[in-house]
Structure 1
């Protein structure tokens, strides 16, 4: 088959009145070829490859892609990695082209990009993620997320609560992971940070203000109902939900958090699409404020709990048993280095590995030893002593003479 340009030339020369023989000599083709394209003028010629099916490297994996999309996974990078694990050796472009028709339209408004100098700012937020247990039941759990504004280094930690104690504990873990403290931390108006806003001025919680002062950072708030002012962490929340979590298997919260740290290190070891730098290398160059002393940091890991009547301390949905003699008393608790510790004043009365299964009851060996003998009373009440004989103090006669003399002189 000859090219379309040559066919056009044959027909133009035929229109000029030249014979097929003359055209064949002039263009260097056979006379029959010239006749063929002159005679087929106005007819649509069938391409030699028409009717043949062209196979794609993606064909064997299309059902896998369909399954991922049914699970809500539309992130091409995630699907690309999953297919590579199954032997796919093609590129990501054909995956993007295949998925594009299924993507929802982007209706978000355009915003101005705002960049901060190294060490200047970190952004933090909570995200609520979903997972399914072995019985198919759906659950929700909070995810604390912090990102350095300049280097884009990330920290992700899943918790059971998003109260004040969980917030400061996660922030401490993030600062220790980054190796320092940024000058400012940008957040939204979460209840654990801000009490209210009066005349445009935020009134911070006293405890959070004290925490910020001890750590050395200044808390900053994004504008109300404008989450794009902390767009870096907002995008990271979606990135965790769309990239890290879908299809991920884990045993418990500890396992999930270990995977999250490894994932952060993995993605931060690649060149960032916006900065063109590797986040972990950029983080090492950020002039962060030094971490406070360990004693100062550990101070914010403490929580106050009351021991129940039957001798248990509740923490993150797990009940830990302590000696029954501490029942109904207030104790101090903390989670540190994978252990759960309980203190009565400065005395540690319990140290054991943290349990991550909510609703679990952990008994202490010998927890109720001596309870029956003492009838459940840990400390005896104050009491008087009854005696069968009257005891009279014996004093010398000089004592009475002295007493009488004082009275006579008075």
Structure 2
């Protein structure tokens, strides 16, 4: 029966019993297991995209151990060009909407342009659900896509292989980039990450037979939008606490007390945290990467007094070098008195 392709031990056992077999089924299982063909995986079609056509992106969750032996989670954003296989990755403190847009802008700048299509899974920062099989786009993400110039697409439900290139890359990063790596902070980790991407992309790709960095140069990407448009998506709105702090990536940065309770625009520019009220920069600090840190602003509470536990601004008179006395002509007084 095995020669006929029958490997179901129960079927074989029942057939042998009909022929007078009196033994057990275990011996049959031991006999068949080495002859049974390996279970095959479902066949899938390889999907290749033309140069410049598509990029795939995703988040992964990685782990690291700090100097105190405590394990932390940190998200990593990954984007890979569908044709050249050139890759970009960035570690962040959060994987929220603002972080997603910042990472995408950084990736487009790294690649030197924008692909026609960006494929992602059905993350909540991208879609609000679906209707009749069609995605209901997050309006802010839809506006971002229009500003950048790409068409957003999501993979079908329960079909992660649709974006298999980035799925494999997430696992590749976890298995090949992170193990044994040492870093000072997220900024240092991202510096090492891009160096690793360039190193890996300088080698011939096993599937395409091309060197990704060289193939990227031949991808007809759409031009980057103006810097002012790109920079718009690096800002976030934050509400200043009553004691004059703005929370950002786990740290608290001080701003002048006059902005307490108000919303300000904040961003990271290089290694500097900046807070703006309209076009006025209200505070700037050196970025700190340790969660829970409080960064004070010099003169943060200047002009603020506390009465009965409630802070209120102080009223001051100003001393000058010499009193200023205005000299008026006598005719002015006659005019006021109605003489003239």
Asked if Structure 1 and Structure 2 have the same fold, meaning a TM-score greater than 0.5 normalized by the shorter chain, the answer is yes
Q: Structure 1 pair 107/265, CA: closer, same or farther in 2 (3 Å)?
A: farther
Is the contact between residue 306 and residue 312 of structure 2 (CA under 8 Å) also seen in structure 1?
A: no
Choose which of 287, 293, 297 in structure 2 pairs with 1:354.
287
Question: Cα distance, 1:130 vs. partner?
Answer: 1.0
Which has the bigger relative contact order, CA under 8 A and spacing at least 6?
2
Structure 1 residues 176-218: Cα deviation after superposition (integer angstroms, max 9, x where no partner): 0000000000000000000010111110000000000000000
Higher radius of gyration, 1 or 2: 1
TM-score with structure 1 setting the length: 0.65
- Residue 219 of structure 1 pairs with residue 152 of structure 2: yes
- Residue 210 of structure 1 pairs with residue 155 of structure 2: no
Question: Cα distance, 1:327 vs. partner?
Answer: 1.1
What SS does the aligned partner of 1:334 have? Answer: strand
What SS does the aligned partner of 1:366 have? Answer: coil
Q: Structure 1 pair 337/135, CA: closer, same or farther in 2 (3 Å)?
A: closer
Choose which of 51, 60, 85 in structure 2 pairs with 1:127.
60
TM-score with structure 2 setting the length: 0.78
Structure 2: gaps spanning 5 or more residues: 1-37, 316-335
- Residue 140 of structure 1 pairs with residue 73 of structure 2: yes
Task: Give the whole-Å Cα distance in 1 for the aligned partners of 2:314 and 2:199.
Answer: 56
Q: Structure 1 pair 207/107, CA: closer, same or farther in 2 (3 Å)?
A: farther
Task: Give the whole-Å Cα distance in 2 for the aligned partners of 1:106 and 1:320.
Answer: 57
Choose which of 234, 240, 252 in structure 2 pairs with 1:301.
234
Task: Give the whole-Å Cα distance in 2 for the aligned partners of 1:190 and 1:379.
Answer: 50
Question: Cα distance, 1:145 vs. partner?
Answer: 0.4
Structure 1 residues 273-300: Cα deviation after superposition (integer angstroms, max 9, x where no partner): 1111110111011100000000011111
What SS does the aligned partner of 2:119 have? Answer: strand
1:135-214 residue pairs with structure 2 within 5 A?
A: 135-214=68-147
Answer 1 or 2: which has greater strand percent.
Answer: 2
Mean alpha-carbon deviation: is it higher for 317-326 or for 344-353?
344-353
Aligned residues between the structures: 279
Q: Structure 1 pair 133/214, CA: closer, same or farther in 2 (3 Å)?
A: same
Task: Give the whole-Å Cα distance in 1 for the aligned partners of 2:41 and 2:100.
Answer: 29
What residue in structure 1 maps to residue 29 of structure 2?
Answer: none
What residue in structure 2 maps to residue 325 of structure 1?
Answer: 258
1:69-108 residue pairs with structure 2 within 5 A?
A: none
Structure 1 residues 309-345: Cα deviation after superposition (integer angstroms, max 9, x where no partner): 1110001111001111211111111122332110011
Is the contact between residue 120 and residue 154 of structure 2 (CA under 8 Å) also seen in structure 1?
A: yes
- Residue 263 of structure 1 pairs with residue 196 of structure 2: yes
- Residue 282 of structure 1 pairs with residue 282 of structure 2: no
Task: Give the whole-Å Cα distance in 1 for the aligned partners of 2:217 and 2:182.
Answer: 31
Task: Give the whole-Å Cα distance in 2 for the aligned partners of 1:210 and 1:180.
Answer: 18
Q: Structure 1 pair 189/171, CA: closer, same or farther in 2 (3 Å)?
A: same
- Residue 115 of structure 1 pairs with residue 48 of structure 2: yes
Answer 1 or 2: which has greater helix percent.
Answer: 1
Is the contact between residue 245 and residue 253 of structure 2 (CA under 8 Å) also seen in structure 1?
A: yes
Task: Give the whole-Å Cα distance in 2 for the aligned partners of 1:167 and 1:106.
Answer: 39
Task: Give the whole-Å Cα distance in 1 for the aligned partners of 2:66 and 2:256.
Answer: 34
- Residue 236 of structure 1 pairs with residue 169 of structure 2: yes
What SS does the aligned partner of 1:232 have? Answer: helix
- Residue 345 of structure 1 pairs with residue 278 of structure 2: yes
Is the contact between residue 305 and residue 314 of structure 2 (CA under 8 Å) also seen in structure 1?
A: no
